[in-house]
Structure 1
Amino acid sequence: MSAEPMIGAPASGGLPHASLSLVAQALASLKLAVPIIIGQLALIGLNVVATLLMGRIGTQAMAAGVLGNAFFFSMAVIANGILSSTGVMVAQAEGRGDPQRAAGYAQRGLLLALLLSVPACAVLIGAPYFLAAIGQAPAQVALTGRYLGTLAFAMVPYAMVLALRYFLAAVERPMMGTVTAIFGVGVEFIVGQMLLPMGVAGVGLAVAAGCLAMLLGMLVYLRLSVPLQVYGLFQRGRAQAGQMGDLWRIGWPMGVAFGAETLFFMLTTTLAGYFTLPEIAAHSIGYQSIITAFMIAVGLSHATMVRVARAAGEGDIVAVRRIGWAGIMLGWLGMGGTGLVLALGGRWIAARFLDPAVGDAATVFDFAAPLLVIAALFQLFDGTQAIAAGALRGLKDTRGPMVIGLIAYWPVGMASGALLAFTLDLRLIGLWSGLALGLAVAAVALTVRFHVRSRHLPASAKG
């Protein structure tokens, strides 16, 4: 068992992280975050390409795609939360200068991804029975079932890709994750064109082919990359006793938190379905806008998480605080900028989603414009809570953020949104105001928690 490094001293040669100013820490985090952001957008491309392929089949196929993708990406989000522990533990091992331990966590992360895939596939295959039980039309249930029957095969490589992306980010080589994500989307599109005569089942296989291409691309890179040979990822005996337990103990609360947040947004969309068609269309426009912009926060959150974890592994408490606050401030700038665009360009943005010549387009734009003003605040709160939660994950603090998220999303956000929307008859404005309030509470609570935890970092949190 290696000795703990002194606080403020790096695990290996070179200057300690604490020697970097807040601005320098922000630039270092941004350098790591940019390829992660691009990679996240590429992963969204899996859904976009699947939707485009479904559109060539027909509107009923598109409806099946919406339902199927909702189930698939809900499972993927939960797995992503759990597997984020791989990035934390690899980064802390890196901070301690222990590449063998880092490799062990990466190997156990891949095994955990495989184990998580089993129940996720079972949920996807069983989803049509749930849809039938809640009264969905039999024809729609059957079509969705055919899509999920092949899409389920994508879950295994997709989960393994998530684990490897966290490893690559933790060792500060995220670009290959981005390249392979783009490559996978291209494979999905080509295979989808070839399998289009199979209908929705062919689209599901195309998504699976794209995910498999991503995984194979990453494995080839990891095998051939000379700088990464020090980890010996393909060697036996790297993993040590207790490493799987570490990943699960840190990861499951984040899986719960990610799942609760996903369900929070899914239920909001369900509630929006009680309004008029133009209002539903406006909600869809607003939702797609914030999801796309949120990828900035996701990239910054991942970068902040692994850099905080690495600094904690080095025992550098000053750097932990500077990296965390640098990430949060970058979030304010990035998400504040996108929020300003949403607030000022509401009608123009809405027109990108819907042809102004369509009969009720003007009505949709009238509903969408004020929603995008609320979305401006939304972006600031959502980005702050995501990055602060990432900083806390870097300190292996996941149960506290889970509790904060559950309270902020449900008793605060969902309850207030439903009250404002239906009891006070503010409709979409009320629903979205509730969302913004829930995220604001989460943002403040998580930021305060990081401030307190990073000031009083216990010895057990180092390394």
Structure 2
Amino acid sequence: MTNSLRALALFRLSLPLAAMEIPVVATVAIDTVLLGRLGAPAVAAGGLGAAVFLFVASICVSVISSVGHEAAFRSGRRDRRGMLGVLMGGVALSCLLGCGAAVATAVVAPFLRVLGQDSVVAQHAAWYLYGVAPGFPFLLLAVCFRGMLAVQPGTARLVAVAALSVGVKALLALAGWIWLSTADVSLPSRLLMCGVTTSATFCVMATSAWCAWRRSNLQNRVDPTSQETATGAHRIIRRGLTIGLTTALQTGFFTVVAILCGRCGPADLAAHQVANQCTLLPLMFAFGMSQAAATLTSQAAGAGSPLGARRTSWHAVGLGVVAMLMVAGVLVISGRAAIGAILPAGTPGREHVAEIAWQLILIGAWCQLADGAQNIAMGALRGLSQGSITVRAAVIAYWLIGIPLASLLGLKCGLGATGVWMGVGVGLHVSAALLLYYLYRATYLPSDRVAT
């Protein structure tokens, strides 16, 4: 495969995979826009609930995302029966893990105040978690089928699945909001509605992803045996535990960032939530490119082509860097307009929150290149079955450098959320440097390659 064809394959695969990353972020963004009409306390409560939800969801999704990596490896070996065994094992794990995550989220929801948050904000955030908890199994099932579709000709169907999911969330949220607006209802009721509509959206996403898979060319294949299903589940767990641990460190880092912003005050937490929505959505392309890099490098490894895996990895990094540079420019140009869309004029406490959010968006634009590069390098390393290396980078960059520096600047130096995000930026740049070095070592130094 020539370099241009490899780059084209990465780009074409990254777009539908990036599209499937959007529904989770879009559900939170839609809720943030609606809650922004009620003022900073409502945004702060929704932001705290969303931070906890995304922490749990990201870990579970990362574990199940190994379905796609393992399926890609089997695809490289032309092992169709083995691919179906991976799918069946992934479905079983999605149901078990999703139910466990739902119960855990509902149980911890009443105890958010122990994180040092404003007691009223923590109490209101719990209602959002009660509503969103039932959606975990459906979210993980959607991720499972996404991984299978990524290695089949029907990849473009993922775009339709994502568009349908976002559309359903928007319609349900708007309808629920209008209905609640006809009566004098409390903020907890509105937050519960946001969570319930998100759960319903994940149910639609899982159903549509299953339908897209049913239309794929694998539906007529012979069903795998119970032994093949068990083997598939075992391999998913083996890959997924390392990925899940890395993601726990990564999302735990960003959850602690939200908690630190909350300790700076409700206005800082609200500004963090606003800026987070503005900077996170454009990053979906990097997440999609990370998944594409993991899929295609796994295929190359399964086909016994280390040269193809190496070239795919670095092509993905190059494309991601170019894209993130463009995203950074867009954020600087349109950041204030995005803040205005979330916090319209007349919103209680708007001016102070908007000013902090603008400072955070500028810091976020500075971090886009590093954040994109580290996510894509992480995906490539997972495709090369070297996910354990990413754990080391996460511990060093996030927890030994990022969090202490964010706490120092934000709380000790009195810079608030701005100081917290500055510490985050340093951590992200360190992570990018480490992961790119590890990727170079994995792809160019034969002694460091791990057989898949």
- Give yes or no for TM over 0.5: yes
Moved more, 274-283 or 90-99: 274-283
2:210 to 208, 212, 219: 219
Structure 2: gaps of 5 or more residues:
none
Q: What are the Cα deviations for residues 232-277 of structure 1, in whole angstroms up to 9, with x where unaligned?
A: 5x66548355332221121112112212222212222222234466
Superposition deviation, residue 355 in structure 1: 3.7
Is 1:76 the counterpart of 2:57? The answer is yes
Contact kept in structure 2, 1:91 and 1:171, CA below 8 Å: no
TM-score normalised to the size of structure 1? 0.84
**Residue 340 of structure 1 aligns with which residue?**
329
Distance 1:134 1:423 in 2: 18
Alpha-carbon offset, residue 383 of structure 1: 0.5
Q: Secondary structure at the match of 2:154?
A: coil
User: Which residue number in structure 1 is paired with residue 275 of structure 2?
Assistant: 286
Greater shift, 234-243 or 433-442, is seen at 234-243
Which residue identity does 1:393 align to in structure 2? Answer: R
Cα distance in 1 for residues equivalent to 2:38 and 2:417: 32
Match of 2:403 in 1: 414
| Contact 2:397 2:431 survives alignment (8 Å) | yes
Structure 1 residue 312: Cα displacement: 0.8
Q: Displacement, 1:313?
A: 0.7
Mean CA deviation greater in 114-123 or 83-92: 114-123
2: CA distance between counterparts of 1:459 and 1:409?
A: 24
Mapped to 2, the partners of 1:99 and 1:459 lie a distance apart of 30
TM-score under structure 2 normalisation?
Answer: 0.85
The answer for the alignment partner of 1:33 in structure 2 is: 14
User: Quick one: structure 1 residues 141 and 433, their matched pair in 2 at CA, closer, same or farther if it must change by over 3 Å?
Assistant: closer
Question: How far apart are 1:286 and its partner, in Å?
Answer: 2.7
Please name the residue that 1:7 is paired with.
none
Three-state SS of the structure 1 residue aligned to 2:228 is coil
Distance 1:180-1:111 versus aligned 2 partners, 3 A rule? same
Cα distance in 2 for residues equivalent to 1:374 and 1:143: 29
Residue aligning to 2:68: 87
What is the 5 A alignment of 1:300-449?
300-355=289-344, 366-449=355-438
The CA distance in 1 between the partners of 2:120 and 2:265, in whole Å, is 25
Q: Percent identity?
A: 27
| 8 Å contact from structure 1 (residues 88, 170) kept in 2 | no
Change (3 A) 1:272 1:111: same
Q: Cα distance 1:401–1:20, how it changes in 2: closer, same or farther (>3 A)?
A: same
- Would you say 1:20 and 2:9 are equivalent positions? no
Q: What is the SS of the residue equivalent to 1:315?
A: coil
User: Judging changes above 3 Å, is the alpha-carbon distance between structure 1 residues 406 and 135 closer, same or farther for their aligned structure 2 residues?
Assistant: closer
Question: Which residue, out of 237, 245, 248, partners 1:248?
Answer: 237
Contact 1:88–1:305, Cα closer than 8 Å, also in 2 = yes
For residue 446 of structure 1, what is the amino acid of its counterpart?
L
Cα deviation, residue 122, structure 1: 1.7
Question: Relative to 1, partners in 2 of residues 1:267 and 1:442: Cα closer, same or farther, differing over 3 Å?
Answer: same
- 2: distance between equivalents of 1:113 and 1:177? 19
CA distance, structure 2, for counterparts of residue 293 and residue 345 of structure 1: 12
Once the two structures are TM-superposed, the CA of residue 319 in structure 1 deviates from its matched residue by: 1.0
5+ unaligned residues in a row in structure 1: which ranges? 1-18
* Aligned residue-pair number: 442
345-354 vs 94-103, which deviates more? 345-354
Cα shift readout 1:333-365 (whole Å, capped 9, x = no counterpart): 011111123345554554444346669766555
Alpha-carbon contact 2:16-2:159 (below 8 Å) kept: yes
Counterpart secondary structure, 2:386 = coil
Q: Distance in 2 between matches of 1:79 and 1:308?
A: 22
- Per-residue deviation at 1:43? 3.0
Alignment pair present for 1:109 and 2:98: no
Q: Which residue of 1 aligns with 2:201?
A: 210
Q: In the alignment, which of 245, 259, 262 is matched to residue 273 of structure 1? A: 262
How many Å separate the matches in 2 of 1:447 and 1:377? 18
Cα distance 1:374–1:231, how it changes in 2: closer, same or farther (>3 A)?
Answer: farther
Spell out, residue by residue over 1:133-179, the C-alpha distance to the aligned partner (whole angstroms, 9 max, x if none): 56878887776555544432211111111111122113353322332
* Paired letter, 1:213: V
Matched residue of 2:219: which SS?
Answer: helix
Q: Deviations over 1:365-388 (max 9, x none)?
A: 554444433322300110010000
C-alpha distance in 2, partners of 1:428/1:57?
21
Measure, in 2, the Cα distance between the counterparts of 1:139 and 1:333. 43
The answer to whether the aligner puts 1:183 opposite 2:164 as a matched pair is yes
Deviation of 1:25 after TM superposition, in Å, equals: 1.8
Residues of 1 paired with 2:117 and 2:371: CA distance? 33
